């Protein structure tokens, strides 16, 4: 305890070095709140009986505030892990976050003790985005959560079975390939085309409709989505000091809510249209299927079940399903095109495999997946090296528990550093190098992925969109390479710096590529 006192006193002497940062980021009101929180934290530390995971020294007022704006926080945490161990603690204001940087720590927390860490952190932004904790991603581990998770999983299984996914992909890719053809070999930024293709895939599955590339609704949605990732990825001071959201919300906080509400309004409009037009004899898409579940509860007069199937619950479930199949996939695909353009030998090998298995006279189908091991290995390697959601969605401890011998008090935020897992040299030889063959056997067949490969997390809160994302990518990549050669423009080298990075997503910069029709 004496050592802890010394650390706190030492940090007080360092506060003066933070004054320029405080003037930039903290208003008089937030400073007052911070002082109060800092003093409270000081006394809590004195009485703290927990053996928390180690980490960098946190300043009394702002914690490890300098890390909050770190665009490469995932890499920083991996380096801190080399000093402090596989499980580290960082602090943003009064809020502590435990970061898991090795697969052993992740398995202990999320598999062996999965129920202990199945909650989500309760934050002011999370409550706003989930309309009071009524979605799947951000709600707590309760019977209502289990019901909606089961409903969503059932809906996905129903609509990912058979022809529906590939029909949606084929329809969406028709305009995508036309747009690429119209570039006529000129350099272009592919992001908007990728976004449009994936947007229409999910609109087809969820709403039984598609939007053309110049549609204002599509453009408005995508602008809001991109800006949301950029702003929210830096973290919100309101989540550390919730009172600020009530008395003095920052411009960043208002922007985040505005961008999200723009996206949510689109989904709400689609949901309401389906409610108004619902016909139980014609289930057209995932939204109809979810509404049908409520109709069946009404027919059974199950009041308790109906209380968990309100409009708010259902539209949040639809939003979860839409984003689960959309967000990760679009970010992965934009990175994938850059890696393929920069690694021509990998691209040619995928094309040779697709030509052999599929040919040039028909489009790839889901049934071809088993015969395209190298193509799937390429997709896995993009997921690994890009790690488009570096910290996944944070967990929270439901009870007092332990990870790697350290105490984790109830309510503590716990996050998986997926980037650290995917770059752990114990499991990956030369992890900084793009090498799809690491996912293949010596015979060229798809090998079981190394245990440290977790692009969709693991345990009770693993990503809903895993099946959808894999199917989409295993159709889209072959379709693109079946028809086009992708290149970097003359004199251009690949730039792997992100446009946005942080707690929410790792977005590729607006790089240029060119395409040419294959002969």
Query: Which residue is associated with the tokens 């914690």?
Result: 63
Indicate the SS3 state at residue 296: helix
pLDDT value of position 4: 46
Name 324's Cβ contacts closer than 8 Å, sequence gap at least 6: 463, 464, 465, 468, 469
End-to-end CA distance of the chain: 73
For 62-517, CATH gives: 1.10.630.10
CB 148 within 8 A of CB 308: yes
Predicted pLDDT at 207: 94
> What confidence score (pLDDT) does residue 48 get?
58
Domain boundaries, the chain: 62-517
Q: What is the pTM of this model?
A: 0.88
Helix (H, G, I), strand (E, B) or coil at 188: strand
| Confidence at residue 8, expressed as pLDDT on a 0 to 100 scale | 46
Strands in 351-437 per DSSP E: 395-396, 401-403, 406-408, 413-416
- Distance between alpha carbon 459 and the CA centroid of its chain, in Å? 16
State the DSSP string of 463-507. -TTHHHHHHHHHHHHHHHHHHEEEEPPTTPPP---EEE-SSS--E
Q: How many CB atoms lie within 10 A of CB 400?
A: 13
Q: What is the pLDDT along the chain (519 residues), one digit of tens a residue?
A: 444 445 444 544 444 444 444 444 555 445 545 544 554 454 355 445 789 999 998 887 778 877 877 888 999 999 999 999 999 999 887 888 999 999 999 999 999 999 999 999 999 999 999 988 888 888 999 999 998 899 888 888 888 777 788 888 998 899 999 999 999 999 999 999 999 999 999 999 999 999 999 999 999 999 999 999 888 877 888 888 889 888 999 999 999 999 999 999 999 999 999 999 999 999 999 999 999 988 988 888 778 888 888 899 999 999 999 998 899 999 999 999 999 999 999 999 999 999 999 999 999 999 999 999 999 999 999 999 999 999 999 999 999 999 999 999 999 999 999 999 999 999 999 999 999 999 999 999 999 999 999 999 999 999 888 888 898 999 999 999 999 999 999 999 999 999 888 777 899 999 999 999 998
């Amino acid at each position: 305890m004496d050592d802890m006192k010394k650390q706190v006193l030492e940090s007080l002497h360092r506060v003066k070095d933070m004054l320029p940062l405080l003037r930039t980021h903290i208003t008089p009101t937030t400073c007052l709140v911070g002082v109060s929180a800092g003093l409270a934290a000081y006394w809590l530390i004195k009485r703290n009986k927990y053996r928390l995971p180690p980490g960098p020294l946190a300043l009394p007022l702002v914690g490890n505030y300098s890390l909050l704006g770190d665009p490469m926080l995932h890499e920083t945490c991996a380096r801190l892990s080399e000093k402090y161990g596989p499980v580290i603690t960082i602090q943003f204001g009064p809020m502590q976050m435990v970061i898991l940087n090795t697969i052993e720590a992740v398995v202990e927390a999320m598999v062996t003790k999965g129920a202990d860490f199945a909650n989500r952190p309760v934050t002011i932004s999370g409550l706003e985005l989930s309309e009071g904790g009524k979605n799947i991603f951000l709600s707590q581990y309760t019977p209502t959560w289990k019901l909606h998770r089961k409903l969503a999983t059932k809906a996905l299984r129903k609509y990912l079975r058979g022809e529906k996914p590939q029909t949606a992909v084929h329809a969406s890719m028709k305009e995508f390939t036309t747009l690429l053809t119209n570039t006529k070999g000129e350099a272009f930024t592919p992001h908007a085309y990728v976004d449009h293709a994936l947007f229409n895939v999910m609109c087809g599955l969820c709403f039984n409709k598609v939007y053309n590339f110049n549609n204002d609704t599509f453009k408005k949605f995508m602008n809001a989505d991109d800006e949301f990732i950029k702003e929210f990825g830096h973290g919100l001071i309101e989540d550390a000091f919730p009172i600020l959201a009530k008395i003095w919300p920052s411009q960043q906080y208002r922007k985040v809510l505005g961008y999200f509400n723009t996206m949510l309004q689109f989904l709400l409009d689609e949901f309401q249209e389906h409610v108004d037009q619902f016909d139980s004899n014609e289930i057209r898409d995932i939204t109809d299927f979810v509404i049908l579940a409520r109709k069946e509860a009404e027919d059974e007069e199950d009041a308790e079940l109906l209380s968990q199937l309100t409009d708010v619950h259902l539209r949040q479930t639809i939003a979860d399903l839409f984003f689960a199949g959309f967000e990760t996939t679009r970010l992965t695909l934009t990175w994938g095109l850059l890696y393929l353009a920069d690694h021509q030998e990998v691209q040619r090998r995928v094309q040779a495999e697709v030509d052999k298995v599929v040919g040039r006279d028909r489009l790839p189908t889901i049934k071809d997946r088993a015969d395209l091991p190298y193509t799937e290995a390429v997709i896995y390697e993009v997921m690994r090296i890009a790690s488009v959601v570096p910290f996944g969605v944070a967990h929270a401890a439901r009870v007092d528990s332990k990870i790697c011998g350290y105490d984790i008090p109830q309510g503590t935020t716990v996050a998986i550093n997926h980037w650290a897992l995917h770059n752990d040299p114990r499991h990956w030889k030369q992890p900084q190098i793009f090498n799809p063959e690491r996912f293949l056997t010596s015979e060229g067949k798809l090998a079981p992925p190394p245990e440290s490969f977790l692009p969709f997390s693991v345990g009770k809160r693993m990503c809903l969109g895993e099946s959808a994302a894999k199917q989409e990518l295993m159709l889209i990549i072959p379709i693109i390479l079946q028809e086009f050669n992708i290149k970097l423009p003359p004199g251009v080298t690949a730039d792997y710096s992100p446009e946005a990075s942080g707690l929410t997503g790792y977005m590729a910069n607006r790089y240029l590529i060119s395409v040419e029709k294959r002969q």
